[in-house]
Amino acid sequence: MFDFLWNLGSFIIALGILITVHEYGHFWVARKCGVKVEKFSIGFGKAIWRKVGQDGTEYVVAMIPLGGFVKMLDERVEDVPADMLNQAFNRKTVWQRIAIVAAGPLANFAFAIVALYAMYLIGVPSIKPVIDSTKVNSPAAVIQLSEPQQIIAISGQDVRNWEEVNFALVGHIGNDSVDVTLAPLSRMDGIDDKGKTYQLDTREWRFDPEKESPITALGLGIFRPGINPIIAAISENSAAQIAGLMIGDTILSINQQPYKDWNSFVDVVQTSANKPLSVDIERAGELLQIEVVPQAQTNDNGDTIGIIGISPTAAQWPENMRFDLEYGMIDSVSAAVDKTWQLVVVSFKMIGKLFTGDVSVKNLSGPISIAQGAGASANYGLVYFLGFIALISVNLGIINLMPLPVLDGGHLLYYFIEVITGKPVPEKVQEIGFRFGAALLLMLMSVALFNDFARL
């Protein structure tokens, strides 16, 4: 219940900020163009707060936080007094109307820069992208490793942490190849090394983002510190909890076989569904033997496996692999702009790949997934939440620029046609377009919601 409320609260805060930014973009430019704004609303439905400002605009916060709107004086919607015709939206020049409509998405891009600027000033705890193996019969099999190597670039784009590697690879889904540049670990100790570049054949590169990352799907083995056989977490109502295992217990052996490594321990558990296992542990200096019966569970392949519901303690990352990704007050500006541009490019590429079929519509996410992402990022801390809302802000701006008549991009399409032809698009044509756009948008939202529920 707490997780639900936390996710919901984080979602409302994130969406509220982004909607306010988007609508304020429309509002601010409309006012600058001399348009009378009658209402500025965040949310839909019944108002829970309202105020009429000195400028005559009614400011509203409504119950349903899934959108917002700026209501402007417009002859196409209602009768306008003769003395206020010069303040009507429809009486403005086509370029002024374009500026007002485009201001919303542009405000989202500007906000992403601000959020990322703050994130880089604070500093993001990061891990350098180091691989220690490659998978046989995978695109990465061409890479031969004799020691762990750091990924320093993807197709010429410098990368500093796993997040940047992930974003860079996503942009290459559907491409015939991707270049991965590696450098030895000694480079991290200050030795200049331009690294060696490998070209990976990605013509057969296919993966499900719900099950694996593009990094492991390529066959790159992510370096991880060792795992200590000390129980760090126990799931509620799990076999481990029922048996009496406790956080802090050190695993010594299983079925009289000394503990070797975590993977071997998991293998024994998974092949012993509903079968009692004898686990020797050390607790506060005392040796104990506990019988655990792994609970049966079906995995993604349809196989029955055993689980006991514990997590081990991970060893600390090597000091030379940890760093804070941060910049000074000036450098943070260029870093934030560059990151926002990368997000824009990747987002447009992903939309294009949806149409070409390189990316499945199963990857579309709706409000439930966004709420979960908001809650998870907020749980990690402010810097992660800033990065999350920057990503969503960019996506909100791009979605609104799509040429669907019901969105800002559809209005812009009509206005640019007006620029070319010298006359407005006929009202009947616009009406047909709005109906088509609304139907298509509803279909996309339905698919996204279906995907959300399927992931629960």
* DSSP summary character for residue 281: E
CA atoms within 13 A of residue 109's CA, in its CB half-sphere:
19
Radius of gyration of the chain (CA): 27
Burial class (CB in 10 A: 0-12, 13-18, 19+), 158: exposed
Angle subtended at Cα 451 by Cα 450 and Cα 455, rounded to the nearest 5 degrees: 115
To 5 degrees, how large is the angle CA 364–CA 369–CA 374?
130
The separation between CA 189 and the C-alpha centre of its own chain, rounded to angstroms, equals 32
212 is catalytic: no
Q: Are 294 and 307 in contact (CB under 8 A)?
A: yes
- 296 Rama sector, left if φ>0, alpha if ψ -120 to 50, beta otherwise: beta
Residue 227, beta-bridge partner list: 314
Helix (H, G, I), strand (E, B) or coil at 388: helix
Cα 37 to Cα 27: distance, rounded to the nearest angstrom: 7
Residue with tokens 């701006």: 397
Cβ atoms within 10 Å of 452's Cβ, excluding its own: 18
C-alpha dihedral (207, 213, 216, 221), degrees to nearest 10: 180
Rounded to whole angstroms, the maximal C-alpha distance in the chain is 92
CB 346 within 8 A of CB 171: yes
Helices 94-122, 408-421: axis angle to 10 degrees equals: 140
Catalytic one of 23, 236, 319, 418:
23
Q: Which residues of 224-262 are buried (b: 16+ CB within 10 A; e: fewer)?
A: eeebebebeebeeebbbeebebeeebebebbeeeebeeb
**What is the rounded distance in angstroms from the CA atom of residue 116 to the CA atom of residue 386?**
7
Rounded to whole angstroms, the Cα distance separating 409 from 399 reads: 8
Q: φ, ψ for residue 57 (rounded to 5)?
A: -85, 135
How many C-beta atoms surround the C-beta of residue 419 within 10 A? 10
**Residues annotated as part of the active site:** 23
